[in-house]
Chains A and B, each alone.
Chain A
Amino acid sequence: MDVKCINPFMGAIKNVFKTMLKMDVQFGKPHVKTNEETCHDVSGIIGLSGDVAGAVIVSFPKLSALKIAGIFAGVTLSDADEDFADAIGELANIIAGNAKKDIEGLKIMISTPSVVIGPGHHVKSIRDLPKLVIPCSCQAGSFVVEVGIKKVNQTNGTLVGAAAE
């Protein structure tokens, strides 16, 4: 497990929740995601490109997602509201964007967010990337941030030197 990769994400999660939701986040022990492990009920997904290939997934149980999205948006939301998915996607976007500035020496671009809603879903990477799972909890509930990221060889586009192994 490479702390150079994981620390920027933990810092970003803390910073985003503190600044925009006025909440402290506590972390459990990060672990490598197994094939059997599913996401929670609601996931915000951001693709990573440039000098790396990968994705960041911020995944919430439904109740946590509703509370956190509502606090972020400043209104009570239901999972049927368009703004619910928007808020979850934007949170994932800000976490990924905030983390990438602290990953030194790599030019990283982030995609616009996608949001998946549904219990027990899997998010498969285009490439077979190992993912690290960072368990998080705050006063509005628990959630996880999954990070799968590898450097890309710019000359031929192949993956080199795993950043998350």
Chain B
Amino acid sequence: MKIMLVDDSRTIRNIEKNVLSQLGHTDILEAGDGVEALSLTATQMPDLFLVDWNMPNMDGLTLVKNIRTKNTTVPIIMVTTEAEKSRVIEAIKAGVNNYVVKPFTAETLGEKIQQTLSKLGIAV
């Protein structure tokens, strides 16, 4: 399973990579913003996205909307500091499958990833 991590913080991408590695996922693509992520998806669409909201050049919400115009089924988990209910609803309307609020523990992120993939019937 190929997983794309989209976050302008390399620290967060590294934390996410560690969690994914513990779950047995090592085929990882990384992007620092929405523009870079879209550019990568032109040649390789991942099987799962973890997307931050606040990023330079193109934010996560715009990225999610862009992905959904091309692919309505690929699972997307928003991992963000945006914790207000209105923001969560906005993200779900845009097409995210699950939502993780920063700060998070490795356990919480791992559970949300497994929950998202199980719901969609994808083997973890």
Contact = CB atoms under 8 A, between A and B. Distances in A.
Nearest to B33: A112
A96 B13 CA distance: 19
Interface residues of B, number: 21
Contacts of B14: 73-75, 83
Interface string A110-131: 1110000000000000000000
Nearest to A12: B103
Question: Which interface residue of A16, A73, A112 has the most chain B CB atoms within 10 A?
Answer: A112
Contacts of A16: 103
Nearest to A75: B14
B56 A101 contact: no
Interface residues of A, number: 24
A94 interface: yes
A130 B55 CA distance: 28
B103 A19 contact: yes
Contacts, number: 58
Contacts of B102: 93-94, 97-98
B116 interface: no
Given A19-B104, A74-B18, A112-B54, A94 B10 contact: no
Contacts of A93: 9, 54, 81, 102
Given A72-B11, A90-B9, A97-B102, A112 B55 contact: yes
B86 to A, nearest CB: 8
A64 interface: no
Interface of B: 8-12, 14-15, 18, 54-56, 80-84, 101-105
Interface of A: 15-16, 19-20, 72-75, 82-83, 86-87, 89-90, 93-94, 96-98, 100-101, 110-112
Given A73-B11, A74-B14, A110-B54, 17 more contacts: A72-B11, A73-B15, A75-B14, A83-B10, A83-B11, A90-B9, A93-B81, A94-B81, A97-B80, A97-B81, A97-B82, A98-B83, A100-B84, A101-B84, A110-B81, A112-B8, A112-B55
12 contacts: A19-B105, A73-B11, A83-B14, A89-B9, A97-B80, A97-B81, A97-B82, A98-B81, A98-B102, A98-B103, A110-B54, A112-B55
